[in-house]
Structure 1
Amino acid sequence: MPEFVLNVNDYRAFQKLDAFTRGYIEALFFTDEEQLCDESDRDMPSVAIDTATMEPRFVGGDSPGFDDLAPETLAAIIADCEAFQRVHADLLDAAYEHGGERGSYDSERAGNDFWYSRNGHGVGFWDRGLGDIGDALSNACGWKSRASAHPFPERDSYIGDDGKVYLA
């Protein structure tokens, strides 16, 4: 499978975000790229084989990315990521110390897992070899309880009338 590369033009602005938040944003666009392309009439990248390495890679296309986030959406993402990290700092620290199944679990991967877990993507904190720590982090995302009053409910992305990406 080709590696997903987030579309980012303003790399300096993206790099100013903490690794957890960058991971969260990357996971958002990874899971929702096709839907967002369909909504915006943008072309999805296609897969080609690099004949030098025989590795698949994405080519062409103009899928939505970081620069397409509405300012209020980016602010909400930052606030959610900060809140989750603050409230669950002890669990996240334990996950980083544990290292997971590959021994290198970090804050960027945790940001990915926050998006995946809160949105029920079938992968997330619970699936990283973190044991009870992963289960506790998944539960903190509402993994087992889809109650709308949960502090970190599911989010759906969509393209607004202005062409920007929003979360509902």
Structure 2
Amino acid sequence: MDAFTKAYITAMFFTELGEDNLKDAGLPEISTELMEKIEKDCAEFQAKAGELISDEFCHYKECPTIDYAGHDFWLTRNHHGCGFWEKHDWAEPASTKLTELAHSFGQMDVYLGDDGKIYAM
């Protein structure tokens, strides 16, 4: 799994389960169907984003740009309070184009199943 996808999953766990729950319970398993969708969406997003995911456009330097982009893909597609649209982290034209691209994937809602695995709705 690439760094972009790992960061995407980390953001998903954080926003959907909360940091306190992650520390106490550990990471739940992701269902096979959801993992396939995540990998497909992340690969497609990166292919379409191309050179917009680069140090040239990303001002956030506390982690590698590819990690930050994976994180922001989850946040932006789900309309969380931060993401690619933040001009202090992403320069134009990347900020607007990455936001529009992330929104084109639609929102993804996930839930913890009775079997302890995470699924998409």
TM-score band by shorter chain is 0.7 to 0.9
Q: Cα RMSD over matched residues?
A: 2.4
Deviation per CA, 1:134-158, whole angstroms, max 9, x where unpaired? 111001112xxxxxxx4x0100110
The residue that corresponds to 1:44 in the other structure is 21
Q: Given the two structures, how large is their TM-score scaled by the length of structure 1? A: 0.63
Which of the pair is proportionally richer in helix?
2
How has the CA–CA distance of structure 1 residues 104 and 158 changed in structure 2, closer, same or farther, with 3 Å as cutoff?
closer
Rg larger in structure: 1
Give the distance between the partners of 2:118 and 2:62, measured in 1 at CA: 34
Structure with the larger RCO, 1 or 2 (CA within 8 Å, 6+ apart): 2
| Preserved CA contact (<8 Å) 1:158 1:167 | yes
Q: Is the 8 A contact 1:157 1:167 kept in 2?
A: yes
* TM-score under structure 2 length normalisation: 0.84
Question: Superposition pairs for residues 28-67 of structure 1, below 5 Å?
Answer: 28-34=12-18, 44=21, 61-63=24-26, 65=27, 67=28
Q: Measure the CA separation in 2 of the matches of 1:83 and 1:101.
A: 23
Residue equivalent to 2:97: 136
Q: 2:74 aligns with which of 112, 115, 134?
A: 115
Structure 1 residue ranges (4+ consecutive) displaced by more than 6 angstroms after TM superposition = none
Range moving further from structure 2, 18-27 or 95-104: 95-104
Aligned in 2, Cα 1:80/1:129: closer, same or farther, shift over 3 Å?
A: closer
Aligned: 1:155 with 2:108: yes
Give the one of 54, 60, 73 matched to 2:34. 73
The runs of 5 or more residues in structure 2 that have no matched partner are: none
> 1:116-139 deviations in whole A, cap 9, x for unaligned?
000000101121142321111001
1:86 correspondence with 2:47 = yes
